[in-house]
RNA sequence: GGCCCGUUCGUCUAGGGGUUAGGACAGCAGAUUUUCAUUCUGUAAACAGGGGUUCGAUUCCCCUACGGGCUACCA
């Protein structure tokens, strides 16, 4: 017997931007598929016409691409043999399965209107109870089980709206074998008669995902924990459709929780706590509200993915830095933690910092070029935009930033002469007697035949010695004179990088302003 | 309320009947760095509580507490 080819899917509904929790679900699906040489499919579950949000679908596709977790089949990634991958386009097909369940006595037509259902729920609520459409109540309601055949026919003939509901049996134990949680047992009595086909002819998630998973030969359904309570209904549907032996293995992932307090991570938390909850920026087409994404905040996709992978999973070793390929190789459901994970923005930054440090300075230099050019309005042929200059600047700045875009602010003085000089340092260290020294140093530096750190260092020391000054008295001032700031990148490296001419100009300018 | 899932340092987690309960982030301290950052070293910090089972439980079982999810013609 040959093993079935592993096929998994990520099946979001296009009701808004993809949340980082959703990206993690996609990631785990992807990792599992790749690990076993299987397929990863993107299917859009747009069965709720009322919640459709323009742009959400493109957002999902773009987000997966940015993360590098590309489906090898599905919407936006090339059709496989099971197209279409948008459920609304598969609409006509679902009805037959719902009807099949009616014929076999496992589902029925129900004519109760949404308003009537609402009223029943409210009424139950006022009695501190919960209304449930199930074996205990269905015979008192308006459906093909309670009504006579003639009544049902008449209503159908009159074009009365109806839904198809699953007829859930009483007194059965339904066992879920979850890959992460093990065996979970539910009593069928607490499962309600879920709507399978809505009055607009669209299937609900419950029917649609099962039919599609079956037709698309999905072997594992990896999804959020919020689906665990409806899993018994899903098992019943598979059983009644005669597909139980082909039912995908279930794996319910733990949820992502708010960094502070309680509850699951939501869109609001990002705004409130100042970190993104979305992979990419998103502008809500209805409210105009903007939400920021990891990409635009300057995160590397590799860092984002690495961080996400560790929110609920671990390799069982102490290694924390994993490329996507390594994650694929090491991933397994056994190492998925069962409890929800509070998201820690600090750790996310740490991952990014790590990836930045391991990126070649030449690459970093190339990355920041246009940003630097625009920020400081530098002419294209200026040496500060040369690969060599940018590489050295990145090298100096690398250990002091977490994001590439911070380089232009943290190291602004490498690209632009200062306008102001740190007053605290000047007040503390400057003495009029130092002026001749700095003028002497300026001349000595200008006269250096080779402007390199070793010579610069030597020149500073010897000039200081000749003025009877100790390094502690002049070094920080020199830094302020050159960069305007009391702290920053390696002083000698900075001086060498800025170059002989620039240094001389900056010293002239600073000495004309300081201590006047 | 009902049903289900869960609970190890502040956070992410490893571990698992006998361990000095390990790592990472964040914190603190020290060293290096003329500064800041880096780097290095060190340090503090956890098995929710109560009952069992057992020679022994943080680990297995039960209860409680707490957290979370679900309870729609949403997914």
A197 band by pLDDT with thresholds 50, 70 and 90: very high
Is A37 among the domain residues?
Answer: no
Q: For residue range A418-461, list pLDDT tens digits in order.
A: 999 999 899 888 999 899 999 999 999 999 999 999 999 999 99
Both A101 and A197 in a single domain? yes
State, as a whole number of angstroms, the distance between the CA of A149 and the C1' of B68.
Answer: 45
Both A95 and A158 in a single domain? yes
Q: For residue range A303-317, list pLDDT tens digits in order.
A: 999 999 999 999 999
> To which H or E segment does residue A424 belong?
helix A423-429
Residue with minimal CA–C1' distance to B74 is: A48
Both A100 and A204 in a single domain? yes
Both A114 and A191 in a single domain? yes
- Write down which residues 165-204 in A have CB closer than 7 A to strand B: 181-182, 184-187, 190, 192, 195, 198-200, 202, 204
Instruction: Please provide the size of chain A in residues.
Output: 516
Residue A291 has pLDDT above 70, yes or no: yes
Both A136 and A98 in a single domain? yes
Classify residue A425 as exposed, middle or buried by CB count within 10 Å of its CB (0-12, 13-18, 19+): middle
CATH code of the domain containing A471: 1.10.10.350
CB A411 under 7 Å to nucleic chain B: no
Residue A127 has pLDDT above 90, yes or no: no
CATH code of the domain containing A203: 3.90.800.10
DSSP H helices, A343-411, are: 345-357, 361-376, 387-397, 407-410
State, as a whole number of angstroms, the distance between the CA of A160 and the C1' of B15.
Answer: 61
Residue A408 has pLDDT above 50, yes or no: yes
CB A492 under 7 Å to nucleic chain B: yes
* Residue A321 · residue A305 · CB < 8 Å: no
Q: Of the listed A35, A65, A267, A349, which one is catalytic?
A: A267
Q: What ipTM was assigned to the predicted interfaces of this complex?
A: 0.95
Structure confidence at residue A213 (pLDDT)? 98
> Can A267 be counted among the known catalytic residues?
yes
Is A220 among the domain residues?
Answer: no
Residue A4 has pLDDT above 90, yes or no: no
Residue A269 has pLDDT above 90, yes or no: no
Question: Distance between alpha carbon A427 and the CA centroid of its chain, in Å?
Answer: 47
Structure confidence at residue A268 (pLDDT)? 82
CB A161 under 7 Å to nucleic chain B: yes
**Greater confidence, A516 or A53?**
A53
> To which H or E segment does residue A157 belong?
helix A149-157
Is A63 among the domain residues?
Answer: no
* Residue A244 · residue A214 · CB < 8 Å: no
Q: For residue range A458-487, list pLDDT tens digits in order.
A: 999 999 999 999 888 899 999 999 999 999
| CA pair distance A191, A204, nearest whole angstrom | 16
Q: For residue range A71-88, list pLDDT tens digits in order.
A: 999 999 998 899 999 999
Q: Among the three residues A163, A183, A213, which one is the final residue of a domain in this structure?
A: A213
Is A241 among the domain residues?
Answer: no
A261 band by pLDDT with thresholds 50, 70 and 90: low
Is A175 among the domain residues?
Answer: yes
Q: How many folded domains does chain A comprise?
A: 3
Both A121 and A184 in a single domain? yes
Both A206 and A141 in a single domain? yes
- Write down which residues 16-35 in A have CB closer than 7 A to strand B: none
CB A341 under 7 Å to nucleic chain B: yes
CB A470 under 7 Å to nucleic chain B: no
DSSP string, A285-299: TTT--EE-BTTTTT-
* Residue A397 · residue A410 · CB < 8 Å: yes
Residue A510 has pLDDT above 60, yes or no: yes
Is A127 among the domain residues?
Answer: yes
| CA pair distance A110, A113, nearest whole angstrom | 9
Q: What are the φ and ψ backbone dihedral angles of A301, each rounded to 5 degrees?
A: -60, -35
Q: Among the three residues A370, A403, A436, which one is the final residue of a domain in this structure?
A: A403
What's the average model confidence in pLDDT over A279-284?
Answer: 96
CB A486 under 7 Å to nucleic chain B: yes
Q: For residue range A95-119, list pLDDT tens digits in order.
A: 999 999 999 999 999 999 999 999 9
For residue A3, give both structure tokens. 């093993």
Classify residue A361 as exposed, middle or buried by CB count within 10 Å of its CB (0-12, 13-18, 19+): middle
Per-residue b/e over A201-233, b at no fewer than 16 CB within 10 Å?
Answer: ebbbbbbbbbbbbbebebbbbbbbbebbeebbb
Whole-model pTM: value is 0.95
- Write down which residues 257-276 in A have CB closer than 7 A to strand B: 257, 259, 262-264
Domain that holds residue A162: 89-213
Both A459 and A369 in a single domain? no
Residue A207 has pLDDT above 50, yes or no: yes
State, as a whole number of angstroms, the distance between the CA of A344 and the C1' of B47.
Answer: 22
State, as a whole number of angstroms, the distance between the CA of A356 and the C1' of B25.
Answer: 17
CB A476 under 7 Å to nucleic chain B: yes
Is A290 among the domain residues?
Answer: no
Instruction: Label residue A37 left, alpha or beta by phi (over 0 means left) and psi (-120 to 50 means alpha).
Output: left
Is A128 among the domain residues?
Answer: yes
State, as a whole number of angstroms, the distance between the CA of A388 and the C1' of B40.
Answer: 31
Residue A1 has pLDDT above 60, yes or no: no
CB A425 under 7 Å to nucleic chain B: no
Structure confidence at residue A2 (pLDDT)? 58
DSSP 8-state class, residue A191: S
Both A206 and A130 in a single domain? yes
Both A379 and A473 in a single domain? no
Both A114 and A163 in a single domain? yes
For residue A56, give the nearest of A267, A254, A280 by alpha carbon: A280
CB A225 under 7 Å to nucleic chain B: yes
Both A112 and A198 in a single domain? yes
Structure confidence at residue A128 (pLDDT)? 84
Q: Among the three residues A156, A182, A213, which one is the final residue of a domain in this structure?
A: A213
For A456-501, give the secondary structure using H, E and C. Answer: HHHHHHHHHHHCCCCHHHHHHHHHHHHHCCCCCCCHHHHHHHHCHH
Q: Considering chain A, what is the average pLDDT of its residues?
A: 95
Nucleotide nearest A206, CA–C1', reads B75
State, as a whole number of angstroms, the distance between the CA of A339 and the C1' of B8.
Answer: 12
Q: For residue range A29-70, list pLDDT tens digits in order.
A: 999 999 999 999 999 999 999 999 999 999 999 999 999 999
């Amino acid at each position: 017997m040959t093993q079935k080819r592993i096929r998994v899917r990520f099946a979001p509904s296009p009701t808004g931007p993809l949340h980082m929790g959703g990206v993690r679900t996609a990631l785990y699906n992807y990792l599992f598929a790749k690990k076993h040489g299987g397929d990863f499919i993107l299917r859009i579950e747009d069965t709720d016409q009322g919640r459709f949000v323009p742009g959400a679908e493109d957002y999902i596709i773009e987000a997966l691409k940015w993360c590098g977790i590309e489906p090898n089949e599905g919407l936006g990634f090339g059709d496989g043999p099971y197209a279409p991958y948008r459920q609304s386009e598969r609409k006509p097909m679902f009805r037959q399965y719902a009807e099949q369940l009616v014929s076999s006595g496992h589902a029925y037509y129900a004519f109760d209107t949404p308003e009537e259902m609402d009223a029943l729920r409210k009424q139950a609520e006022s009695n501190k109870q919960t209304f449930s459409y199930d074996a205990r109540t269905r015979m008192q309601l308006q459906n093909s089980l309670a009504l006579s055949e003639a009544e049902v026919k008449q209503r159908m003939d009159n074009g009365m709206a109806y839904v198809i509901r699953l007829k859930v049996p009483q007194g059965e134990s339904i066992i879920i074998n979850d890959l992460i949680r093990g065996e979970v047992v539910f009593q069928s009595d607490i499962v309600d008669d879920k709507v399978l086909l809505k009055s607009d002819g669209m299937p609900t998630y419950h029917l649609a995902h099962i039919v599609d998973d079956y037709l698309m030969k999905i072997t594992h359904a990896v999804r959020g924990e919020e689906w665990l309570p409806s899993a018994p209904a899903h098992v019943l549907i598979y059983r009644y459709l005669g597909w139980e032996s082909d039912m995908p293995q279930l794996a319910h992932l733990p949820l992502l929780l708010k960094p502070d307090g309680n509850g699951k991570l939501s869109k609001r938390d990002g705004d409130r706590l100042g970190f993104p909850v979305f992979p990419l920026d998103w502008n809500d087409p209805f409210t105009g509200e903007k939400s920021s994404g990891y990409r635009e905040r300057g995160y590397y996709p590799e860092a984002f993915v690495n961080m996400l992978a560790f929110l609920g999973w671990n390799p069982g070793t102490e290694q924390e830095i994993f490329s996507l390929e390594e994650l694929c190789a090491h991933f397994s459901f056994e190492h998925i933690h069962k409890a929800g994970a509070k998201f820690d923005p600090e750790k996310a930054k740490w991952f990014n910092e790590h990836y930045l440090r391991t990126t070649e300075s030449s690459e970093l230099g190339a990355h920041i070029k246009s940003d630097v050019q625009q920020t400081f309005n530098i002419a294209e042929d200026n040496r500060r935009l040369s690969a060599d200059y940018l590489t050295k600047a990145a090298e100096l700045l690398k250990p002091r930033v977490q994001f590439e875009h911070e380089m232009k602010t943290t190291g602004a003085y490498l690209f632009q002469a200062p306008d102001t000089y740190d007053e605290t340092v000047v007040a503390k260290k400057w003495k009029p007697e130092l002026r001749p020294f700095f003028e002497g140093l300026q001349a000595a530096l200008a006269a250096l035949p080779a402007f390199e750190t070793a010579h610069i260092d030597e020149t500073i020391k010897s000039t200081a010695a000749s003025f009877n000054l100790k390094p502690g008295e002049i070094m920080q001032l020199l830094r302020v004179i050159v960069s305007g700031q009391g702290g920053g990148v390696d002083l000698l490296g900075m001086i060498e990088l800025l170059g002989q001419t620039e240094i001389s100009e900056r010293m002239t300018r600073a000495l004309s302003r300081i201590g006047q």
